[in-house]
Amino acid sequence: MTHIAAVNTVIVQLPTRREHKWTGLTEPIGRYIIVKMTDADGRAGWGEAAALKDWGGEFGRYFGESSSIVGHVIDRYLGPAVAGVDPANIVELHARMDAVIKGYPYAKAAVEFAAYDLAGKRLGVPVHVLLGGRARARVPVTHSIGLIPVEEAEKEAAQVAAEGIRTIKIKIGGEPKRDIAVVRAVREAAGPDMDICVDANEGYRTPGEALVVLREMEKYRLKYAEQPCMGIERIAEVARALDTPVMADESAWNAHDAIQIAEQHAIDIISIYTTKPGGLYKAMEVAAVCRAAGIACNVNGSIETGVGNLANIQLASAAPAVTLSCVVPVSTPAEFQKGQIGGIYYKDDLLHAPMKLVDGAIETPVTPGMGMAVDEAKIEKYRVRS
């Protein structure tokens, strides 16, 4: 039996293909924490916290974690707490992290991802096997269009459709007329067979304001409307008044939130993250609640680098409740980018090879650990030096 010998962190900043913003976001994506966990035999496992200071739950229940905060929490508290633990003992890993400091789910998730990666490599199995097995061999990709001009969104939607992506999510929640115009333009550009979703990131102040906009959008056949406003009671009010299914994101961080949503019969869909609940182990708890309650799910995130995105893919592959297309990047290093944009948000990535996209879906890696090799030279290249 081996044990965790060291946990190290580094902040990276990947260059973006184009600006990607959503309501409330004030900083660029891609400035994230990478965790390298080493065991006593010298093997390495990798994790990531796609932490943003502007990202949190509703009414201050969960709060933003910047990369610098995450780095401090891991270096000062979590790393020392998990030293000596068998990386395959995820229960003990979480118990030690929770005992040393409350909260900070993104920091804890990054450490846990590295432990899962390390455990899988040691045992010779992919992480989805450690989560219970593979429910699907491919993960359908939803391409996200941020708050960009209508003309740019229209052009991007047409290319994404031509590349074979079958679901597009549009960020809204700003100016209602613009929101409606961009949905109309994307529908026209992407064609009648594209599934189109919208995500307001709590951008509408009241259910009434959200309903005015979303009712107008329903003529363009929405797959779902995500987090139209703040508060599960408020989005439940929206859900009751729409034909379009409503998804909870900021309102649903962990299994407790999912239980409350199920008890209230509040909404139709929950967006599961690997990071919001504090890691894969706890994300599987959220998925189990949703499956028992008959709530559909996707896997979502904060446009991670390939390191964190591997955890997304492993979760989406393992959780039977995840039946919808997932908002996950198609992580692709610069040398493999040939002009394609579907699921690609950065000009480069931290993996040696690209994720394999087939018919609009990512093939689940099946090699031990998270399934793909991390490029340490790229981590060094994009390292943020203070």
What is the model's pTM? 0.97
Structural domain span for residue 70: 4-124+375-381
Q: What is the largest CA-CA distance in the chain?
A: 61
| CATH number (domain holding residue 213) | 3.20.20.120
The pLDDT assigned to 188 comes to 98
Assign 207 a pLDDT band (cuts: 50, 70, 90).
very high
Number of domains comprising the chain: 2
Beta strands in the chain (DSSP E): 4-13, 31-39, 44-49, 138-140, 142-145, 167-171, 195-199, 222-226, 246-248, 269-272, 296-299, 357-358, 361-363
The pLDDT assigned to 234 comes to 96
- Is 180 found in the same domain as 105? no
The pLDDT assigned to 21 comes to 86
The answer to the question of residue 170 being in a domain is yes
pLDDT tens sequence across 181-205:
999 999 999 999 999 999 999 999 9
The pLDDT assigned to 367 comes to 98
Assign 1 a pLDDT band (cuts: 50, 70, 90).
low
pLDDT at residue 279 above 90?
A: yes
- C-beta neighbour count of 329 within 10 angstroms: 25
**Local structure of 38: helix, strand or coil:** strand
The pLDDT assigned to 22 comes to 83
Query: Which residue type sits at 344?
Result: I
- Is 150 found in the same domain as 112? no
| CATH number (domain holding residue 109) | 3.30.390.10
**Local structure of 21: helix, strand or coil:** coil
Mean pLDDT, residues 333-359: 98
pLDDT tens sequence across 46-77:
999 999 988 888 887 777 889 999 999 999 99
The answer to the question of residue 368 being in a domain is no
The pLDDT assigned to 26 comes to 81
The pLDDT assigned to 63 comes to 76
- Is 157 found in the same domain as 215? yes
Per-chain mean pLDDT for the chain: 96
